[in-house]
């Protein structure tokens, strides 16, 4: 067996940013990069061409009227921001507004008593972001999706949301969109995508029954079609339209719950994919969740309800077709809208990606950087040989931290890192000390979604000395008021008694964890008990927890035993024959249970024997 194993990594979409590619190479210790295209002789035999058809639609006059009023609401606010000196011109895009908001937020964070105008600017900028999103929905999705977004805005308590709902121009757009939905007026894309699917399935306007008879008589296998769209609201709209047309379709989206709609569990996602694979559905409607990382069967046609401005996402989406035979992709574009901008953005980025990666100078730079880094690491290992594995401090890391730079830095710092599932915290260094690592952004997000105090309570309940590492120096650059952040930090420290340790970056975090581990594990070492499950809270949970600790007893058997005997005491006192009366409990299991219950506790005696042997 070779001591110098080589690992080959493949990607269809490395991206167009050279610096990001370098970062990936650094993180994965990539030593060499080879670029292959469909034109290479050793790739060409395995490559099925994918034909892309850009399908253009014209925005209806009703949608143009609605958008006109939204545009007016936007123009008023952009002029106000320009007069305040927040932006230089009213010709701005979403990125420009986000940068402007970041500058104002930074100014507020740095100032002891910020001016009232700063908070007013933040409110206007937030409203502008909402309006820009509304424009995109009207241009690329339609009134149903726009109306659902407005309904969510009404529920918000922010000044930005309230000012929009009360704005006469935006209010007129809301009224027109509501009336349009009542009269069944929708975006032309909806009819176009339905027509494309019907033609692909061979229906040509026939009823579902006629179509099924046609397929059966012609001994023709129905095509598999996949439709991508950005928004769940649009996903639901397309699904309902196809259902009315008698076309079997399934919705596929992420696990997160939004606006009262539960996300799909991993099990549900697998069931949908399986049903699509065996032909229960002709069309799979999906958000971006199915772009990569999920095993979806090859499809005959991929339809993009709207272009996306990312070359990576476009490559991943069209990669769902053309696997076993030539593939086809259709991209719907609304003329004169941001659809066209996104289309050109993705095309140009993909061209730049190919041009840049094939460029000999770029390749040489990436490869030389990798080789130089590996040579430096080899020298470090020769000059400073690592101690034996058993001498290293041990740090247990949760599986969710598996892709973290912290784990890589810990390994470089001569720490024995063991990755496994943990119920509470991200890193554990002793029975008493657990560490929850939060970046500045995650800390702020956890305040907003109220995770922070739930996690703090769990840390306090499960461990004697919990710690929180707060990583990064951009804590006050977000939307949340700095005083709210300071109040949360104070509450964690004073109300929960959890120490908060600041670090600059992932490497600093790793160094801090190493120092804590060395401090905790100095002297006589004892095995660290990792908690893979939280302590049960309810009485019935505690009862199940006790019974599940018996040999060969899982959740089902524990429940059966408790239902049969009624109490934990009755189970403990039951004989082997009585235990075997319960479904799932055999003679061997019953014998082992009695052995555990009846045997004398010999831990201390065994410990003394071991010390005498030493």
Residue 14 class from Cβ within 10 Å (0-12 exposed, 13-18 middle, 19+ buried)? buried
Indicate whether 495 and 545 sit together in one domain. no
**Is the Cα dihedral 377, 381, 384, 388 positive or negative?**
positive
Is residue 493 in a domain? Answer: yes
Indicate whether 98 and 137 sit together in one domain. yes
Owning domain of residue 559: 539-613
Identify whether the C-beta of residue 52 lies closer than 8 Å to the C-beta of residue 329: yes
| Boundary residue ending a domain (521, 552, 568) | 521
Q: Give the pLDDT of residue 207.
A: 39
Q: What is the distance between the alpha carbons of residues 502 and 361, in angstroms, rounded to a whole number?
A: 41
Indicate whether 494 and 600 sit together in one domain. no
What average pLDDT does the segment 603-611 reach? 46
Q: What is the distance between the alpha carbons of residues 243 and 194, in angstroms, rounded to a whole number?
A: 10
How far is the first Cα of the chain from the last one, in angstroms, to the nearest whole number?
Answer: 36
**CATH number for the domain harbouring residue 480:** 3.40.50.10130
Is residue 95 in a domain? Answer: yes
Is residue 552 in a domain? Answer: yes
**CATH number for the domain harbouring residue 153:** 1.20.1320.20
**CATH number for the domain harbouring residue 593:** 1.10.150.20
pLDDT tens string 230-280? 888 888 999 999 999 999 998 888 877 766 667 788 888 888 888 888 888
pLDDT tens string 482-510? 888 899 999 999 888 899 999 999 989 99
Q: What is the distance between the alpha carbons of residues 436 and 441, in angstroms, rounded to a whole number?
A: 14
Q: Give the pLDDT of residue 158.
A: 87
Q: Give the pLDDT of residue 23.
A: 74
What mean pLDDT is reported for the chain? Answer: 80
pLDDT tens string 27-84? 776 777 777 777 777 777 777 767 788 899 999 999 999 999 999 999 999 999 999 8
Q: Give the pLDDT of residue 371.
A: 61
Domain count, the chain: 3
Is residue 165 in a domain? Answer: yes
Is residue 10 in a domain? Answer: no
Identify whether the C-beta of residue 160 lies closer than 8 Å to the C-beta of residue 124: yes
| Boundary residue ending a domain (489, 521, 553) | 521
Q: What is the distance between the alpha carbons of residues 606 and 609, in angstroms, rounded to a whole number?
A: 5
Is residue 53 in a domain? Answer: no
Q: What is the distance between the alpha carbons of residues 299 and 223, in angstroms, rounded to a whole number?
A: 8
> What is the secondary structure of 237-286 as a DSSP string?
HHHHHHHHTT--EEEE--S--BTTBPPPPHHHHHHHHHHHHTTS-SEEEE
Is residue 188 in a domain? Answer: no
Identify whether the C-beta of residue 51 lies closer than 8 Å to the C-beta of residue 321: no
């Amino acid at each position: 067996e070779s001591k110098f194993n080589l690992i080959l990594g493949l990607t269809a979409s490395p991206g167009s940013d050279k610096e990001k590619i370098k970062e990936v190479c650094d993180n994965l210790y990539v030593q060499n990069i080879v670029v292959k295209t469909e034109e290479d002789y050793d790739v060409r035999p395995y490559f099925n061409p994918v034909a892309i058809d850009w399908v253009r639609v014209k925005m209806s006059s009703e949608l143009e009227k609605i958008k006109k009023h939204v545009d007016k609401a936007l123009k008023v606010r952009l002029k106000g921001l320009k007069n305040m000196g927040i932006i230089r011109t009213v010709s701005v895009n979403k990125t420009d507004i986000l940068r402007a908001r970041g500058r104002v937020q930074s100014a507020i964070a740095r100032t002891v008593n910020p001016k009232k105008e700063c908070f007013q600017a933040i409110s206007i900028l937030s409203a502008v972001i909402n309006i820009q999103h509304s424009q995109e929905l009207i241009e690329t999705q339609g009134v149903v999706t726009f109306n659902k977004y407005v309904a969510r805005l009404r529920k918000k308590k922010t000044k930005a949301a309230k000012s929009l709902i009360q704005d006469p121009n935006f209010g007129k757009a809301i009224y027109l969109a509501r009336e349009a939905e009542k009269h069944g007026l929708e975006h032309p894309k909806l009819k176009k995508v339905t027509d494309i699917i019907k033609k692909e399935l061979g229906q040509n306007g026939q009823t579902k029954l006629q179509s099924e008879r046609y397929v059966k008589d012609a001994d023709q296998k129905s095509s598999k079609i996949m439709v991508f769209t950005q928004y769940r609201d649009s996903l639901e709209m397309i699904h309902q339209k196809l259902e009315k047309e008698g076309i079997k379709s399934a919705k596929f989206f992420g696990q997160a719950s939004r606006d009262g709609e539960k996300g799909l569990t991993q099990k549900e996602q697998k069931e949908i994919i399986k049903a699509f694979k065996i032909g229960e559905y002709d069309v799979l409607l999906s958000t971006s969740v199915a772009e990569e990382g999920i095993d979806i069967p090859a499809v005959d046609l991929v339809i993009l309800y709207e272009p996306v401005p990312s070359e990576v996402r476009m490559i991943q989406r069209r990669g769902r077709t053309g696997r076993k035979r030539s593939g086809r992709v259709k991209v719907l574009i609304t003329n004169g809208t941001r659809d066209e901008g996104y289309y050109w953005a993705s095309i140009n980025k993909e061209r730049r990606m190919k041009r840049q990666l094939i460029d000999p100078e770029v390749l040489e730079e990436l490869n030389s950087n990798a080789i130089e880094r590996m040579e430096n690491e080899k020298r470090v290992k020769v000059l400073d040989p690592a101690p034996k594995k058993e001498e290293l401090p041990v740090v247990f890391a949760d599986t969710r931290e598996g892709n973290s730079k912290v784990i890589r830095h810990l390994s470089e710092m001569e720490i024995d890192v063991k990755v496994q599932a943990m119920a509470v915290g991200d890193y554990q260094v002793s029975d008493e000390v657990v560490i929850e690592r939060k970046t500045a952004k995650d800390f702020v997000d956890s305040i907003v979604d109220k995770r922070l105090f739930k996690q703090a309570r769990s840390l306090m309940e499960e461990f004697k000395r919990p710690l929180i590492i707060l990583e990064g120096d951009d804590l006050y650059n977000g939307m949340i008021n700095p005083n709210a952040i300071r109040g949360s930090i104070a509450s964690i420290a004073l109300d929960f008694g959890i120490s908060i340790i600041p670090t600059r970056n992932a490497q600093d975090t790793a160094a801090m964890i190493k120092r804590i581990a060395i401090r905790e594990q100095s002297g006589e070492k004892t095995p660290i008990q990792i908690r893979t499950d939280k302590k049960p809270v309810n009485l019935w949970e505690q009862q199940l927890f006790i019974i599940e600790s018996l040999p060969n007893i899982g959740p089902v058997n524990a429940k059966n035993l408790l239902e049969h005997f009624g109490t934990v005491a009755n189970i403990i006192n039951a004989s082997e024959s009585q235990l075997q009366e319960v479904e799932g409990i055999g003679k061997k299991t019953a014998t082992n249970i009695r052995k555990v219950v009846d045997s004398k506790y010999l831990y201390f005696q065994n410990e003394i024997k071991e010390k005498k042997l030493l």
